[in-house]
């Protein structure tokens, strides 16, 4: 009887331990499921926050990179030609572009007023009909403007500027636009010639007071009178 009692007790203990272990496993499994659920929720929330942040950043970047309005856009960007002179020829340029390039090369250090004066000379030559046809025709006629000698080949390119590297300033572009539109005052008095007396003494030049006068570093007048 004692042995049977002990055996029964052992079986009962085993059942109790098994039930306890099973319950413990169920509790552990339940806790793990809860933890996994919390981790999943946190992860999904983090992903959502990241996506929201990236979306906001994307909008900011698009706004930053959006094209400027025509009123804000720098004139250089809207007028700069796709190709440079000397590579495909001046036929790829509008009158405004070639005039702006010329003003920058010839009088870039003279500011807006000085470049407008140089542009007035070009316009006066166009009006006279003696120096070529139209803005581009006058500018590109060999011997007219030394900056382009490397392109026209005049005088073996003497006095030329590498026009491939010239980039018109805002003042050069504005002066060119004003000349083309006619929205300017000719401060040269109808001059058809100009030169820098500090670096050149052309035969057709003159002295101040003899129908010649200085604007900045250039002297303006009419050599064909």
Domain extent listing, the chain: 1-66, 85-221
The C-alpha atoms of residue 173 and residue 115 are separated, in whole angstroms, by: 10
Quote the pLDDT of residue 210.
Answer: 74
Handedness of CA 224, 102, 115, 109 (dihedral sign): negative
Question: Which pLDDT score is estimated for 42?
Answer: 65
What is the maximum alpha-carbon separation in the chain? 149
pLDDT tens digits, the chain, 225 residues: what are they? 544 445 445 544 554 555 455 555 555 556 566 666 666 666 666 666 666 655 665 554 444 433 333 333 334 434 444 444 444 345 568 899 999 999 999 999 999 999 999 999 999 999 999 999 999 999 999 988 989 999 889 999 888 888 888 999 999 999 999 999 999 999 999 999 998 888 887 777 777 767 888 999 999 999 876
Rounded to whole angstroms, the Cα distance separating 126 from 128 reads 6
CB 104 within 8 A of CB 168: yes
pLDDT at 114: 96
For residue 35, the model assigns a pLDDT of 64
Specify the pLDDT at position 56. Answer: 64
Q: Give residue 96's pLDDT.
A: 93
Helix spans in the chain (H): 2-65, 75-79, 95-107, 111-128, 134-140, 149-152, 170-181
pLDDT at res. 200: 81
């Amino acid at each position: 009887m004692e042995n049977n009692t002990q055996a029964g007790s052992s079986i009962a203990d085993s059942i109790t331990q098994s039930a306890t272990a099973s319950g413990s496993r169920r509790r552990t499994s339940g806790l793990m499921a809860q933890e996994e659920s919390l981790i999943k929720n946190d992860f999904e929330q983090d992903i959502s926050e990241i996506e929201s942040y990236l979306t906001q950043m994307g909008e900011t970047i698009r706004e930053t990179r959006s094209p400027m309005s025509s009123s804000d856009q720098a004139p250089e960007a809207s007028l700069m030609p796709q190709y440079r002179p000397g590579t495909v020829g001046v036929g790829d340029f509008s009158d405004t572009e070639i005039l702006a390039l010329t003003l920058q090369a010839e009088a870039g250090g003279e500011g807006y007023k000085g470049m407008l004066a140089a542009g007035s000379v070009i316009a006066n030559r166009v009006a006279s009909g003696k120096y070529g046809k139209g803005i581009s025709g006058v500018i590109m006629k060999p011997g007219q403007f030394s900056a382009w000698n490397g392109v026209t080949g005049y005088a073996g390119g003497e006095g030329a500027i590498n026009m491939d590297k010239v980039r018109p300033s805002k003042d050069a572009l504005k002066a060119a636009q004003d000349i083309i539109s006619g929205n300017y005052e000719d401060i040269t008095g109808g001059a058809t010639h100009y030169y820098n007396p500090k670096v050149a003494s052309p035969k057709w030049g003159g002295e101040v007071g003899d129908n010649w006068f200085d604007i900045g570093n250039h002297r303006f007048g009419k050599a064909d009178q």
